[in-house]
Chain A
Amino acid sequence: MADEVKKTQVEDIDRSFYDFRYEVNASFQTDAGLTPEIVKQISEEKNDPEWMREFRLKSLEIYNRTPLPNWGPALDGLNMDGIVTYVRPNTEMQAKWADVPDDIKNTFERLGIPEAERASLAGVGAQYDSEVVYHNVKKEVLEQGVVYTDLESALKSDHAERIKEHFMHLVPPTDHKFAALHGAVWSGGSYVYVPAGVSVEIPLQSYFRLNAPGAGQFEHTLIIVEEGAYLHFIEGCSAPKYNVANLHAGCVEIFVGKNARVRYSTIENWSKNMYNLNTKRAVCEAGGTIEWVSGSFGSHTSCLYPMSVLKGEGARMEFTGITFAGNGQDLDTGAQVIHAAPNTSSHIVTKSIARDGGTSNFRSAVAVTKDAKNSKSAVSCESLMLDDRSRSDTIPVMDIACDRVDVGHEAKIGRISEEAVYYLMSRGLSEEDARALIVGGFAEPIAKELPLEYAVEMNNLIHLEMQGTIG
């Protein structure tokens, strides 16, 4: 019977909102491809300290000898020789919005960044191609001793030593090929330092925008939150659509101090030519908490699995994620956690939706070391298939080397229940609305973790996805 129900045709969503773009007006751009000369050039252009220049060159060596991963999504479409690693927009970093050049300003205005800043954020950083073009933090936050600036300025400030001690210590360039690439050509990104005991009540936000075609964005976000402090950091990403592959190989390192708490929210809406090979990692000291909230909607191919290292006793991680893959997209997302101390706990909840020939995979790794006595881990992932041309794989791994643990895992895959659609229709809803309501309900546990404006955006996105889908 159910087979006679017509297949729903899910149209590609209207991304035109993000699809505006401007002529590339760069003051400096490296040649495509990657050579020691290019890396030296970037380093010189940025006026790197000597250790950073060496670090970049060493990373390049590692990059050259590291093979591509032999698992996960195909990366054949990515031609590294064709990717421009460094594009500097034709402007210096500004602290006043009015001073940002018009095309860049218009971009962010259209994305609603200054508006959000005025409304609900403690500070905003905006990166355009490879450089941070705007950074502003509320005075009250600065007075608490919070540092929020672009990483390159920070490297030249009195935080230089602290940065040297932390930079790519959590994600070493040897981690994988794209971490090595990042180490060699990283550019832009944010540095956040929250002193002990300080609670940043309103979120900080970074927004990344890639405008130049065939370019790579390699921003580095370094967050250090000292003992007992609290921070909510929001990251948003988008890019217009070009016909050549763009690459995003950013890196996020978060150091969560004793009894500190960090919430890191990401809404990723890159265009469909983007290879999003981002590496995110957090380490938690005793009693520290890391909370990840992650929404993946855009990009052509994503490999994104934030890792949490629960290093101190009683450290905690929570991961809440949603991935929505459509036509031509291969989104491989999930989370990793290493329980390395007693009484640590992790909780991973994800939802995947695949439609219109897209691939939405969940991949996770929960490792419990010998020392992690009395640790707890729970993983729950749910997938929703909206048609039979899409794909959704669930690939969780547990690796447990300790007997005093409690590890649970649940996975579910299914479709929209025809009975539920039928019921809602009998109560007067159109089929389209009924389906949108059900998908919205499926995503609800994730949406409620998002900052309000993002939750609204996600709901709109789901409604857009479901529009004109009945046929």
Chain B
Amino acid sequence: MTTTEILNALPVTTWNHLRVNSAPKEAALPERPETGWGATNTAYELSEGVRCTALLPQECTGLESGLGEAADLSIHTGANFSRFFRAEGESSGITYLRERLDAEHPNAVTHTAIHAKSGSKSTFVQLIQSDAETAGISASLTRIAAEPGAEVTLVQLQLLNPNCKRYNAVSVKAARDAHVRIVRAELGGSVVVAGARALLDRTGGAFDLDAIYYGDGDSILDFNDVAVHTGRDTHSEMHHAGVLADRCRKTLRGTIDFRRGAAHAVGHESEDVLLFSPEVRHRAAPLILCTEENVEGQHAASAGRLDENVLYYLASRGLDPQQAKRLMVDARFAPVLDKIPDEALRDRTRETLERRLEHAQILG
């Protein structure tokens, strides 16, 4: 790995002084130590209908993540843990991929591929955790190829301690009428770089991204999510919600790219961010690129503090200010938390979030 590669490049660049064209230098992918990344503490648990394959499925290659090809290649070649899955048939179970960073296993550089066969239905949960202290690195490359009619849901829960660095590269390809859903919660780490890129090149392919983030301290959050529509009747929904506190610096790039041939494509994108400190830095670059006439694209973004009128109203209905605040923050995160398919995990994620919000004195 090198530290010089450009990460999270904005698909169409703009004024350099705005610093949104790519991730800042401080967020660069760390170089692989000469001795390698060492041992990992990772485990997986297969659900029915999902099995491991020895080789990287051909279908999953040739795709790029939001982080960019160079980062994908570094994670791929440097991985200290790789697992490739093939899903067949409909399954209501969950395949778990767990990693935990601790003093003995500070780094997890993982390469995961999911090949969903035609008509299959599968759910994967990636749980990324750490002990309370270790300044570890979690870098993951997840490549998803969904064959015609397949449905894949990937839930990514990142609950790392505030000393860790996190790199989350996802590439998606959805074939005819395939539907890939990503649920992403990035709730810890001093540096978080995440980017999902979906290629919808066949009729009826769909991609959903529901993402939440939380940043405090001096953390850097950098996102680059892209939906490329080249197939007819393709559909993308990318929705982000976040809370920023302290001196956190966050940049979100979200791009809907309608290319020629994507007739009747629909893409929606939104971001709703709550700012809890006068020292946060919130940057957003929501792009819509279009070379096809027959499309519908929409973007909406809002940023600010909690609406005082709403807080006042809730207070008038008998909620104390803390309860009212909690209700409003919960409402931001609910669309993602509700999509976590495992109740115990949902609770743990909610608890982690609450602990962090309390710690940052947002809730208390």
Contacts and interface: CB of A to CB of B under 8 A. Distances in A.
A39 to B, nearest CB: 27
Interface residues on A, range: 35 or more
A383 interface: yes
B303 A400 contact: yes
Given A397-B18, A397-B283, A407 B302 contact: yes
Contacts of B291: 388, 390-391
Contact of A408 (B285, B288, B302): B302
B285 A404 contact: no
A402 B277 CA distance: 8
Contacts of B21: 71
Interface stretch (A130-138, A272-280, A293-301, A411-419): A411-419
Given A71-B14, A388-B293, A413-B290, A395 B285 contact: yes
A3 B203 CA distance: 14
A363 B13 CA distance: 10
A411 B288 contact: yes
Contacts, number: 146
B290 A409 contact: no
A394 B299 contact: yes
Nearest to B276: A403
Q: For B258, B264, B295, B303, which residue has the most chain A Cβ atoms within 10 angstroms?
A: B303
Interface in B262-321: 263-264, 275-305
Contacts of A387: 293
Contact of A393 (B278, B280, B282, B290): B290
Contacts of B19: 399
A391 B294 CA distance: 12
Contact of A411 (B13, B286, B293): B286
A398 B287 contact: no
Contact of B288 (A386, A402, A403, A413): A413
A401 interface: yes
Contact of A400 (B15, B16, B275): B275
B263 to A, nearest CB: 6
Interface in A1-41: 2-3
Q: For A386, A403, A411, which residue has the most chain B Cβ atoms within 10 angstroms?
A: A403
Nearest to A3: B263
Contacts of B302: 406-409
Contact of B296 (A392, A410, A414): A414
A218 to B, nearest CB: 22
A70 B282 CA distance: 24
Contacts of A394: 287-290, 299
A68 B104 CA distance: 50
A398 B15 contact: no
B303 A398 contact: yes
Interface string A248-273: 00000000000000000000000000
A396 B14 CA distance: 9
A400 B21 CA distance: 16
Given A367-B18, A393-B288, A414-B297, 15 more contacts: A71-B15, A363-B14, A385-B295, A388-B260, A388-B263, A391-B290, A393-B290, A399-B281, A400-B281, A402-B278, A403-B275, A407-B301, A407-B303, A408-B301, A412-B298
8 contacts: A383-B290, A388-B292, A406-B303, A408-B301, A411-B288, A411-B300, A412-B297, A413-B298
Interface of B: 12-16, 18-21, 258, 260, 263-264, 275-305
Closest 3 CB pairs of A and B: A403-B275, A385-B293, A71-B13
